[in-house]
Structure 1
């Protein structure tokens, strides 16, 4: 007789203390910024906005900065211009990408584009757009290639 492998049965959650944990949605703390990378373009057709060659220190610094910025209110960044971040809208006509975020659908292309810096010139900028308090990152620009 062949030796059959025993398949363990999935356990049913218990009703005892701590057995059933219900997930509760997190509430956004008074409009704090949220970052989305849903539309991040990692490979630009012209070879721009690439972080592939960057080392772990660069990635660490960028993520640390995004974490810090996420503590701010999105409305403050948009209204005050985020002076320490040099946040401002993008005027495509004065950039190296005259067609803007042309790879996005028409509706997203019509949203006002923004940029801000990660730190002084060393780490570059991030380009994207806001929808409410969510900043959709489109390009990471370590070489300042949008405004050469």
Structure 2
């Protein structure tokens, strides 16, 4: 009787294992975690996340009663427009006014504790020194509002909607 030979051939990897590996390699921002420097992500196009969106009904929040349908549509249009730029192109496009915000600057109407309250409401395990850098950009629609948030591994976490230029007043 002839023996069956078992040849080891090419094995196709299980897609479930590949997906699990890809998901595990991605990480969302965790309070106090250090990201990577801007120059390392400057050639990436923004991906937007809303995990830290401030919804406490103040003037800088999306759910303040004075915001209407036009504000929401303008916000979404603005995100759509800038999503085709790289962060570097955003920085170099003067009309977008994309730049970091120094919370210690006297011209800025926001302090580190305001930002800390959004990221770590209980203040446990994080100090103002560990806050990520805030950035803003103009949403480029007829109301001239700004999106304000922070970058972490190429993801832009939107925190505030500055419709009236409260955080960093126009010059």
Give the TM bin, normalised by the shorter chain: 0.5 to 0.7
In the other structure, the counterpart of 1:17 is none
1:63-74 equivalences in 2 (<5 Å):
63-74=76-87
| TM-score with structure 1 setting the length | 0.67
Specify every segment of 5 or more residues in structure 2 that has no aligned partner in the other structure, as ranges. 1-15, 23-42, 121-125
Aligned residue for 1:101, secondary structure, equals: helix
Contact 2:116–2:131 (8 Å) recurs in 1: no
**1:70-109 CA distances to partner (integer Å, 9 max, x unpaired)?**
111234335x3x4220111101123111225121243795
- Residues 61 and 120 (structure 1 numbering): CA distance in 2 closer, same or farther, change over 3 Å? closer
Aligned residue for 2:61, secondary structure, equals: coil
Runs of 4+ off more than 3 Å:
none
In the other structure, the counterpart of 2:99 is 88
Please give the alpha-carbon distance, in whole angstroms, between the structure 1 residues aligned to 2:155 and 2:127.
Answer: 16
In the other structure, the counterpart of 1:130 is 151
**Is the counterpart of residue 101 in structure 1 residue 122 in structure 2?**
no
- Residues 101 and 121 (structure 1 numbering): CA distance in 2 closer, same or farther, change over 3 Å? farther
| TM-score with structure 2 setting the length | 0.59
Please give the alpha-carbon distance, in whole angstroms, between the structure 2 residues aligned to 1:77 and 1:70.
Answer: 9
Please give the alpha-carbon distance, in whole angstroms, between the structure 2 residues aligned to 1:75 and 1:112.
Answer: 16
Task: Calculate the aligned-residue CA RMSD, in Å.
Answer: 2.9
**1:15-37 CA distances to partner (integer Å, 9 max, x unpaired)?**
xxxxxxx9x78xxxx73210001
In the other structure, the counterpart of 2:136 is 115
Aligned residue for 1:31, secondary structure, equals: coil
Number of equivalences: 121
Contact 2:78–2:141 (8 Å) recurs in 1: no
Structure (1/2) with the larger helix percentage = 2
| Alignment equivalent of 2:164, drawn from 135, 143, 146 | 143
Contact 1:75–1:133 (8 Å) recurs in 2: no
